[in-house]
Structure 1
């Protein structure tokens, strides 16, 4: 906890002790106290109270509680400080009340009285200050957490495969010589993908309709690059309105299919993208190429982590001998009617 006092803390003191001063003045007026008692007693009351709080905030709390957890030392010095403050307040009271020093005592019982009077005097303002500090620190902690979350999401969104552009440029180079019309279409689809990535680079989630447009363009790139090695089908069982997924999530899933599977012996990799009410599922047949079964891959791990930051649900992965599927929760930002 930040124990340093700020401008609003001092404003709290001004308001509290302003009200306390008015109440004390009214009390002294009814008791017909001397004028010197107004000035000395009230001044001593405010100075000793604020001084005690400053001692706690700048010395006792940071040195014995916040940093070192030395509770016995804290209690000892707190008692000493409170006894001293109570004694000084008693001295000022006797002086302003006529100077009968026979009323000044310093034995065990009076030490308890000094502690009790000081605790009663600073209890409310100190409690208000600590409550205010706690609330401010909670707000600051929440703000820091939110900023960290936003930065983590942006970092994860930026981790697009470094081979993506390289592979597509190679494919485009081959198409220019063999099929110029298809090369033009390929360039158009690739530019749409990059335009989408640029426009959504700061977005944590995106409408499912927009993500599906990206998916269709990305599937075109895969099929153009690999020919008949992959067969993608899309099934939409529900309306896509008011449904969201993490930005670029579907691209990650499609990329995972192409990255970890290759058509072998003329056997096409079949992939299905199914959209239901609460889940989006991509499943595919598996090839026999060797992959690390203990690893989901960096992209899927990043997607899982993004869901931890965005939702209380997480992707569900099913990996069998012949098939692999991953279900990602659909995020709803508004209640359905």
Structure 2
């Protein structure tokens, strides 16, 4: 429970005491009580209740029940304050009702009366306040977790760009000398891809149709870069509408294939992107030769981490003797 009351807390308490005071006035009218009882009983009951709420809510519970966990001491102090303030309310009501002091209950019964009055004054308003604070805390926690999740996703997304730029600038540098016209076309495609990356830099997920279009442009860059060493095909068995995957997921997976498989000049590395109900499956043939490209650690581990933040489904990886498969869940956004 927060140590300070906000405006809605004051509004809630004000509404509660206004309603309970009106109910008490109605009861006094039906019971034909004297004016003195109105003047004494109602203000005293409100003051006693407020005192107990603040003592328990902002001092006793936080200090002895939550922080230090001294439950026995908390119980004794709590009973004392309930009896003390309950006694004030009982004595005030007893006096305003013109009762004679010689008819006071016995000491034992009086203590139970005090405790009963105190507990009744405390329980409902404190319960209302604690319930409100609990849900406010839950809402705040959800907001903080959401912000943390978004920051983690942005961090993971930012890891992709340096790797992508490093590889393609090397290729472009080679093309400028060997094939200037091809270098110009490559630059145009690269600018289209970077425009997409910039436009989607803050997006957690993108529609599958957009990611497939991006992948087609990206495949052009790779075929320009590696020639006939790699072969790609895309099979769409479902409609791509309202289907989503993490932004640049296909880029990561395609980069992963090139990073870990190098053609021997005879056998082509074949890759199939298969889109089925609920899953996008990328399958590639494996080679015995390994790429010498440096790994920046932004492949499958990156994608696994992002899926932990986006979906309950997990990536499935099947590493077989002659082929490698990655199943990534297709996400449906909840409306």
TM-score, normalised to structure 1, is: 0.91
Distance in 2 of aligned mates of 1:315 and 1:51: 57
In the other structure, the counterpart of 2:123 is: 123
The answer on whether the counterparts of 1:3 and 1:61 sit within 8 Å (CA) in structure 2 is no
In the other structure, the counterpart of 2:9 is: 9
In the other structure, the counterpart of 2:180 is: 180
Superposition pairs of residues 123-142 of structure 1, within 5 angstroms? 123-142=123-142
Tell me which moved more, 106-115 or 256-265. Answer: 106-115
Distance in 1 of aligned mates of 2:73 and 2:289: 66
In the other structure, the counterpart of 2:272 is: 272
In the other structure, the counterpart of 1:254 is: 254
The answer on whether the counterparts of 2:244 and 2:331 sit within 8 Å (CA) in structure 1 is yes
Distance in 2 of aligned mates of 1:145 and 1:92: 50
Runs of 4+ in 1 over 6 A off after TM superposition: none
- Does residue 286 (structure 1) correspond to residue 286 (structure 2)? The answer is yes
In the other structure, the counterpart of 2:330 is: 330
Matched position secondary structure for 2:299: helix
Superposition pairs of residues 1-337 of structure 1, within 5 angstroms? 1-2=1-2, 4-98=4-98, 100-104=100-104, 107-160=107-160, 162-264=162-264, 266-289=266-289, 297-333=297-333
Q: In the TM superposition, what is the alpha-carbon distance from 1:321 to its structure 2 partner?
A: 2.6
Q: In the TM superposition, what is the alpha-carbon distance from 1:2 to its structure 2 partner?
A: 2.9
Distance in 1 of aligned mates of 2:243 and 2:87: 69
The answer on whether the counterparts of 1:279 and 1:329 sit within 8 Å (CA) in structure 2 is yes
Root-mean-square deviation (Å): 2.3
Q: In the TM superposition, what is the alpha-carbon distance from 1:31 to its structure 2 partner?
A: 3.0
The answer on whether the counterparts of 2:261 and 2:290 sit within 8 Å (CA) in structure 1 is no
Distance in 2 of aligned mates of 1:323 and 1:296: 23
Q: Deviations over 1:180-233 (max 9, x none)?
A: 221111001111111001001111111111101111111111122222222222
The answer on whether the counterparts of 1:91 and 1:104 sit within 8 Å (CA) in structure 2 is no
Distance in 1 of aligned mates of 2:209 and 2:261: 27
Going from structure 1 to structure 2, the CA distance change for 1:208 and 1:78 (only over 3 Å counts) comes to: same
Structure 1's unaligned 5+ residue stretches are: none
The answer on whether the counterparts of 1:90 and 1:104 sit within 8 Å (CA) in structure 2 is no
Q: In the TM superposition, what is the alpha-carbon distance from 1:327 to its structure 2 partner?
A: 0.6
Matched position secondary structure for 2:160: coil
The answer on whether the counterparts of 1:172 and 1:187 sit within 8 Å (CA) in structure 2 is yes
Distance in 2 of aligned mates of 1:258 and 1:325: 14
The answer on whether the counterparts of 1:229 and 1:268 sit within 8 Å (CA) in structure 2 is yes
Distance in 2 of aligned mates of 1:86 and 1:183: 87
The answer on whether the counterparts of 1:4 and 1:57 sit within 8 Å (CA) in structure 2 is no
Aligned residues: 332
Q: In the TM superposition, what is the alpha-carbon distance from 1:74 to its structure 2 partner?
A: 2.1
Matched position secondary structure for 2:245: strand
Distance in 1 of aligned mates of 2:211 and 2:106: 79
